[in-house]
Amino acid sequence: MTRDGLKILIAQAGPDSNRYPFRSHPLGLMSLAAYVEREIPGTSVDALDMKVSDARPGDIGRIAAERGADIVGLSALTVHWEEMAEAARAARAAVPGALIVAGGPHATCFSGRVLDSGLFDAAVLGEGEKPFLNIVRARMRGERPEGIPAVATPQRPVPDVPRDVLDDPDALPFPAWNKINLEAYRRRCSFSVMGRRNHMSLFTSRACPFECAYCHNIFGHKFRPRSAHNVLAEIRAAHSLHGFSDFDILDDVFNLRRSRVINICRGLIDDGPKISMAFPNGLRGDLLDDELLEIMREAGTTFISFAVETASPRLQKKIHKNLNLDKLAAAIRKADSLGIFSNAYCMVGFPTETESELKSTIRFVAKSPVNIAHFLTVTPFEGTRLYEMLDEETRARAARAPGDMRYEDRAFNLSDIPDSKFRRIIHLGLMRFYLNPFRAAKIILRHPQPKNLLAFARMAFNRIFING
């Protein structure tokens, strides 16, 4: 049976809660929608991000029924698996004939568990465009989604081909900006500098060749960058169609290929548009040099998160990040001298971490000119190499509570430092960092969004006196 005009609803599950206020655009859903509609004309895809919507997971059934959905695709981070399961249950009850498909980070990492729930007909592993398109095509032929590369099903829980990615990411259409409620993201905190901004998220490359032990690698290790030409075209289209002049670039490792970064920046400097660029997800500091930072600044870079993780060379090795700390420190200083607002992401509480290693990380950051610091307690996600390093008892605790692995959660101090001392050191570190008058003055003078300074002050207060 061939039938066009298929209706598809894809949704990202999660609460719209202030407990974790940051929001970024659901680029995965936006890309799937644009790709499927382009490849199968006549198909219509609706996208819904529950993290910025009044719709609760239980409402997905009603929404799917109202739209007459033939396929309901659901995505979530592992922390929001329960919401995703509830949405699937609601969809199954309301549109029993629809195909219910899981995708996104949780389905990628835990496809077996997702299918064992009995709520899904299929789970897509990793990059979703090609597998999802193949599922839609199979449905149009009246076939079950069996034997499709990168698609697990209850009958075949391990796909024959584990991933099915696009070799040339330039072949993707730009994300479907028209499928989401753009206004909802303007009203919420962006991932960058704690503020409400008229910004758009951007993903300019897929995959990361590094093997950091704590990472759930979604796109694999073969770095697939979009060309500078293609990235510039997306920026220009988002700017001219929707007026965005502020971009959050969320790649895993945007600056892996120096020449590409230079070409993107050169294009912006020479031919515009004039935009501001932020890198809230972290750049690799040891792959930045003076000249590169200068051109990035000239092209509009206002904010960089430096993914420090730890200042202990031993731990850098143990977690397979192998960051060159001297190069990182030099890049932080250079960014500061160029007036770029910056953040340091640190992970604290690694297995075997000692008191002196923890203090060395805090000292590294406190002595550096970064404007914001995060000391996030390491969360041992199942399915990562870090998790494999744990003993049975700690693993069991981690596996029992995936929903509890929330931001800045203190439940898993895996280090050799007793809990109370661990907390005290971090608390004192945060005080030393934020209560430095020179840093405070610089934050006020340099903040790229002065109207968000109050929100920033509230965040720093919470971090020092509540979370810290």
Query: Which window, 70-78, 222-230, 322-330, 386-394, contacts ligand B12 (CB under 6 A)?
Result: 70-78
- Measured distance CA(255)–CA(156) in Å, rounded: 38
- Please give the Cα distance from 123 to 99 (Å, whole number): 11
Site for ligand B12 (CB under 6 A): which residue of 124, 256, 275, 372?
Answer: 124
Instruction: Report the residue from 91, 95, 101, 114 that binds ligand B12 according to the rule CB under 6 A.
Output: 101
Q: Which is nearer to ligand B12, 289 or 388 (CB)?
A: 388
Query: Phi first, then psi: what are they for 297, rounded to 5°?
Result: -65, -45
Q: Which of 79, 76, 51 is nearest to 187 (CA)?
A: 51
Distance of alpha carbon 10 from alpha carbon 47, whole angstroms: 5
- By CB under 6 A, is residue 215 in contact with ligand B12? yes
Tokens in use for 100?
């219910």
Q: Does 69 bind ligand B12 (CB under 6 A)?
A: no
311-344 core/surface letters (b: 16 or more CB in 10 A; e: else): bbeebbebbebebebeebbbbbebbbeeebbbbb
Residue nearest to ligand B12 (CB): 103
Q: How many residues bind ligand B12 (CB under 6 A)?
A: 43
Q: Cis peptide before 437, with omega less than 30 degrees from 0?
A: no
Instruction: Centre a 10 Å sphere on the Cβ of residue 260 and count the other Cβ atoms it contains.
Output: 18
- By CB under 6 A, tell whether 103 contacts ligand B12: yes
73 forms part of the interface with ligand B12 (CB under 6 A):
yes
Least distance from ligand B12 to the Cβ atom of residue 114, Å = 11
> Which of the stretches 139-147, 210-218, 301-309, 313-321 binds ligand B12 when contact is defined by CB under 6 A?
210-218
Phi/psi region, residue 355 (left: phi>0; alpha: psi -120 to 50; beta: rest), is: alpha
CA atoms of 45 and 41, how far apart (whole Å): 11
DSSP state at residue 174: P
Asked if 375 touches ligand B12 (CB under 6 A), the answer is: no
From 22-30, 55-63, 359-367, 442-450, give the range in contact with ligand B12 by CB under 6 A. Answer: 22-30
- Listed in sequence order, the DSSP H helices in 272-418 are 290-298, 313-318, 325-337, 355-367, 385-388, 392-400
- Burial (CB count <10 Å: 0-12, 13-18, 19+), residue 42: exposed
* 127 contacts ligand B12 (rule: CB under 6 A): yes
Q: Which is nearer to ligand B12, 104 or 159 (CB)?
A: 104
Q: Which of 36, 88, 109, 443 binds ligand B12 (CB under 6 A)?
A: 109
CA distance 400 to 299: 46
**Residues within window 422-461 making contact with ligand B12, judged by CB under 6 A:** none
Least Å distance, CB 269 to ligand B12, is: 26
The correct pick among 185, 203, 364, 375 for binding ligand B12 (CB under 6 A) is 203
Q: Establish how many alpha carbons lie within 13 A of residue 115's alpha carbon, considering only the half-sphere containing its beta carbon.
A: 19
Contact flag: residue 306 with ligand B12 (CB under 6 A) = no
Site string for ligand B12, 316-345 (x = CB under 6 A): ------------------------------
Q: Please identify which residue in 43, 78, 111, 190 interacts with ligand B12, judged by CB under 6 A.
A: 78
Residue 216 contacts ligand B12 per CB under 6 A = yes
Q: Is residue 218 near ligand B12 by the rule CB under 6 A? A: yes
Output 381 or 422, the one with its CB closest to ligand B12. 381
What residue type is assigned to position 18 of the chain? N
Helix intervals (H) in 146-289: 182-186, 228-242, 258-271
Stretch 252-291 residues interacting with ligand B12 (CB under 6 A): 252, 281
Contact pick of 57, 105, 349, 468 for ligand B12 (by CB under 6 A):
105
The region of 213-221, 329-337, 419-427, 445-453 touching ligand B12 under the rule CB under 6 A is: 213-221
Helix 258-271 and helix 290-298, axial crossing angle in degrees, nearest 10: 30
| Packing angle of the helix pair 437-446, 453-461 (nearest 10 deg) | 150
The answer to whether 73 touches 101, Cβ cutoff 8 Å, is yes
Q: What is the distance of C-alpha 317 from the center of its chain?
A: 24
Q: Which is nearer to ligand B12, 172 or 329 (CB)?
A: 172
Q: Is 24 in the site for ligand B12 (CB under 6 A)?
A: yes
Q: Residue 86, interface with ligand B12 (CB under 6 A)?
A: no
Does residue 414 bind ligand B12 (CB under 6 A)?
Answer: no
Of 130 and 260, the one with the shorter C-beta distance to ligand B12 is: 130
| Residue 380 touching ligand B12 (CB under 6 A) | no
Output the CA–CA distances (angstroms, integers) from residue 66 to 10, 57, 62, in the order listed. 14, 15, 6
Beta bridge partners of 376: 347
User: Which lies closer to ligand B12 via its Cβ, residue 167 or residue 271?
Assistant: 167
Contacts with ligand B12, residue ranges (CB under 6 A): 10, 12, 20, 22, 24, 26-29, 31-32, 51, 73-75, 77-79, 101, 103-106, 109, 124, 127-129, 132, 191, 203, 215-219, 250, 252, 281, 379, 405-407
